[in-house]
Amino acid sequence: MEYILETNQIEKRYNRFKAIDNLSIHVPKGAIYGLIGKNGAGKTTLIRLICDLQKPTSGSYTIYGIKNTDKRILEARKRMGAIIETPSIRLEATAEDNLKEQYRIVGLPSFDNLQEILKLVGLIDTGKKKAKHFSLGMKQRLGIAIALVGNPDFLILDEPINGLDPEGIIEIRELILKLNKEKGITVLISSHYLDELSKIATDYGFIEKGHMVQEICKETLEEKCKKRVELEVSNVKECVKYFEEKQLSYEVISDKCINLYDEINITELAVALSKRDCVIDKFQEKEESLESYYINLMGGGNNV
Amino acid sequence: MYRLLKANFFRLLKNKIFWGIVIITIMIASFLVVNTILNHQGGTKEGIDRLLVIYMNIIGIFIAIFTSLFVGTEYSDGSVRNKIIIGHSRKNIYLVNLITSVVVGICIECVYLLIVAIIGIPTMGTLQMTADKFMFILVDIFFIIVAYASIFTCITLLCSDITVSTVTCMILVLIMFVATIALSSTANASKYHETYITKDNGEIEVHQELNLNYPGDFPKAVAKTILYCIPTGQAYEIVSQVGKHPLQIVDYMSDKDMKMASLYSLAVIGIVNGMGMYCFKRKDLK
């Protein structure tokens, strides 16, 4: 698989405090990668390291396969855009002037697709309105527009929907999906809004205390979260034989526990198993969301 | 780097602080010339020498205000972050901000000189000092401006908070002024006092007396060196030397020292920028 961003045992210390601890992340090309973790988990620090705002204490990372210590990394950075915490915008200037300045910084010879970018983020009609009079959602979209100057293939968004109203959240979500689907931009997005993230992300990284707990793709996560019946039985072998005969989808969890993913009549199942000397001790229907999966993974619901 | 410079200069053209400083400079220049003309009406012609250089004494305040607010805004609105993210090196970001501050310093100095020349030369006459000396002073002014810009760019880029950096720059200017006043009496002390007595026949008799408060050659040399290393001190010395009365016995910067003054500024520029760039490259940004 081709990765836009990879880190290798990256570490960041502030004196004795380890903000990032031997963290490895793999962002596949074309993905919307959701970086999930509670406050202080190290999401923003990781993004700052990737964006070269801070230097790693040890370890390395690659962007488009170029190592951070390689001089060519500056060229690779020209193909990325980012918003970290708050969008980098000039409040006294209009949306158009903000973009024009970014065009000059990037070094583009003309303002050719400026209007196209404004249209893409829905700010085409802002005219001479200064950015300081924009709503939070508009400022966030302007930040994304600035990050889009220079046609980046990789966009990093740190908490882009923080503080937005429901309408703003939908606008940003639609925009991210549009950028990913229509422009093929890979997006790394950190957020606390797990439900919102589950609507757009194709890959997830769960981070805790500066360490990557798990990286998982959407398909595998859906597989793990899908509706199931958790059975505790006296004889797992007989239970498996029965499920095989009936061609049911199942997963053995332990020598007493088995998960059944297909629908079944419970009376029929209990009778059939009892004929095989197998008793159902416990029966529980389960369905996990990204949120409950995250809570289970992190081992509790504090600070989520 | 060219792209960053271009972006900075476009921003500069729309910057209210820059234009505000230009307007204040025009007002100061006009006021000083008119005031000097009015004070010398009917008297001897002094020439515009001192008037041309006196602005050096306060240019540091304007460079401090401009640099701390203009470069500080780069931090507060996230421009520095933005530039690094898209692959501009920290060295280039540092240099571009330094160049912008230097250009602004030169601009306001030129505006001042122009106003003084336009109003002053027709009414007060041309320079009394040699063109050679004036050229050296212009070179000194240039390096003083670069030294000021270097100090304030360094502070502003190493201090991410615009309020803290602005206050720090202003306090530093104040400290430099106080240090200049404190050091100048030691640095400019003469070994002898001279008293002039006008006789009945109109002849002037010169009496030399030993200065009992003379600090000694070594303390004087140390104070002078420190004074030359402070842009405010160097400016004060040049302005005082240019405006010195022929009979005044104060040991201001000599013509020979004036030719060497740029070297002191160069040392300050080299040290401050070297240290500033080194720290900025390693600074953790938010």
- For B217-241, the pLDDT digits (tens) are 888 888 888 888 899 998 988 888 7
Q: How many CB pairs under 8 A join A and B?
A: 72
Rounded-to-integer distance, Cα B207 and Cα B176, Å: 36
Q: Say yes or no for a CB contact (<8 Å) between B82 and A105.
A: yes
Q: Say yes or no for a CB contact (<8 Å) between A74 and B88.
A: yes
Exposed/middle/buried for A284, CB within 10 Å: 0-12, 13-18, 19+? exposed
Q: Which of A88, A100, A106 sits opposite B78 (nearest CB)?
A: A88
- For A136-185, the pLDDT digits (tens) are 888 888 988 898 888 899 999 998 887 778 877 888 888 889 889 988 89
3-state secondary structure of A6: strand
pLDDT of the residue at A304: 42
**In this predicted model, which residue has the larger pLDDT, A292 or A267?**
A267
Q: Are A295 and A304 in contact (CB under 8 A)?
A: yes
Strand ranges inside chain B, DSSP E:
192-198, 204-210
Q: Say yes or no for a CB contact (<8 Å) between A104 and B7.
A: yes
Give yes or no for A132 touching B (CB within 8 A). no
**In this predicted model, which residue has the larger pLDDT, B128 or B279?**
B279
Would the pLDDT of A209 be above 70? yes
Rounded-to-integer distance, Cα A170 and Cα A158, Å: 17
Q: Are A251 and A261 in contact (CB under 8 A)?
A: yes
- For B23-73, the pLDDT digits (tens) are 999 999 999 888 888 877 655 556 788 888 889 889 999 999 999 999 998
Largest interatomic CA distance in chain B: 82
> What is chain A's mean pLDDT, rounded?
87
**Tell me, what DSSP letter sits at residue B283?**
P
CB contacts of A54 in chain B (<8 Å) are 284-285
Structural tokens at position A177: 């999906």
Rounded-to-integer distance, Cα A8 and Cα A26, Å: 9
Q: Are B165 and B63 in contact (CB under 8 A)?
A: no
Indicate the residue type of A49: L
Q: Say yes or no for a CB contact (<8 Å) between A80 and B86.
A: yes
Q: Say yes or no for a CB contact (<8 Å) between A84 and B88.
A: no
Q: Give the CB-side neighbour count of residue A302, counting CA atoms within 13 A.
A: 5
> Hey, which residues does A13 pair with through a beta bridge?
A18
Rounded-to-integer distance, Cα A86 and Cα A83, Å: 7
pLDDT of the residue at A191: 85
Percent of chain B with pLDDT over 70: 94
**In this predicted model, which residue has the larger pLDDT, B208 or A81?**
A81
> What is chain B's mean pLDDT, rounded?
86
Q: Say yes or no for a CB contact (<8 Å) between A88 and B7.
A: no
Would the pLDDT of A78 be above 60? yes
A47 pLDDT band, cuts 50/70/90, is: very high
Structural tokens at position A222: 């859906």
Give the mean model confidence (pLDDT) for residues B87-99: 93
Task: Tell me the ipTM for this assembly.
Answer: 0.77
Indicate the residue type of B199: K
Indicate the residue type of B230: I
Q: Which of B77, B83, B89 sits opposite A105 (nearest CB)?
A: B83
pLDDT of the residue at B224: 84
Give yes or no for A105 touching B (CB within 8 A). yes
Lowest mean pLDDT among A105-114, A229-238, B33-42: B33-42
Structural tokens at position B284: 């953790």
Q: Are A26 and A195 in contact (CB under 8 A)?
A: no
Strands A154-158 and A186-190: parallel
A303 pLDDT band, cuts 50/70/90, is: very low
pLDDT of the residue at B41: 64
Indicate the residue type of A3: Y
Rounded-to-integer distance, Cα A193 and Cα A169, Å: 10
Phi, psi of B91 (to 5 degrees): -60, -45
Percent of chain B with pLDDT over 90: 42
Q: Say yes or no for a CB contact (<8 Å) between A53 and B284.
A: yes
pLDDT of the residue at B204: 75
- Which residue in this structure is represented by tokens 């908490």? A159
Closest-CA residue to A282 (of A266, A300, A293):
A266
- For B177-195, the pLDDT digits (tens) are 999 988 888 877 777 777 7
Strands A154-158 and A80-83: parallel
Which of the residues B80, B82, B93, B160 would you substitute to probe the A interface, choosing the one with the greatest number of A C-beta atoms within 10 Å? Answer: B82
Q: Return the H-helix or E-strand segment holding B13.
A: helix B2-13
First to last CA, chain A: 31
DSSP assignment of A142-197 equals: HHHHHHHTT--SEEEEESTTTT--HHHHHHHHHHHHHHHHHH--EEEEE-S-HHHH
Task: Tell me the H-state helices in chain A.
Answer: 43-50, 73-77, 95-106, 114-120, 136-148, 166-183, 194-198, 218-225, 236-245, 266-275, 290-298
Q: Say yes or no for a CB contact (<8 Å) between A106 and B285.
A: no
Rounded-to-integer distance, Cα B178 and Cα A225, Å: 71
CB contacts of B17 in chain A (<8 Å) are none
